[in-house]
Amino acid sequence: MTRRTLRWSVHGTLATAGLLAIAFTATGQTPPPADDPRFTGLSTVVESKDLSVARRRFEPGARSAWHSHDTGQLLFVEQGRMRTQKKGQALKELGVGESDYTGPSVVHWHGAVPSTHLIQVNVGFSGETRWMQKVTDAEYAGR
């Protein structure tokens, strides 16, 4: 592994730590007491057994096919830049620390920009992923 591969941005580290906390909560740990000094007001752990958290690397220009998720998907850019598009909407680009939520059953795609890689963190909320046709070069270019 190179030094560059090991380097994490502050945003990436914080976001990954937060997402790992979600995953840790899903392990069934005991919730904090109601008088927990870390919170003001009532705040309780919500069941998260159906959450999935993963990281994926896309090389420059690599992208997913069009697809949808039964219960939506949250994407977070840890490194590089992302292109994403929801069917019928304009192409969006996101940088480090930015995120995008796609609602249930919304057809979309995501991947790296042409000039640099992307490491994304994705959070799924259970349900199935439905895969469709590949994204064309024209769609990827925003035309």
Q: What pLDDT score was predicted for residue 37?
A: 85
Give the model's confidence band at 60: pLDDT under 50 very low, under 70 low, under 90 confident, else very high.
Answer: very high
Residue 4 has pLDDT above 70, yes or no: no
Strands (E), 51-98: 52-58, 67-69, 73-80, 82-86, 92-94
The DSSP letter of residue 32 is P
39 or 59, higher pLDDT: 59
Domains in the chain, start-ordered, CATH in brackets?
A: 3-140 (2.60.120.10)
Report which of 105, 112, 94 is spatially closest to residue 128, judged by C-alpha positions: 105
Q: What pLDDT score was predicted for residue 23?
A: 47
Report which of 14, 19, 9 is spatially closest to residue 124, judged by C-alpha positions: 19
The whole-angstrom separation of Cα 71 and Cα 40 is 31
Q: What pLDDT score was predicted for residue 110?
A: 98
Report strand pairing: 92-94 vs 108-112: unpaired
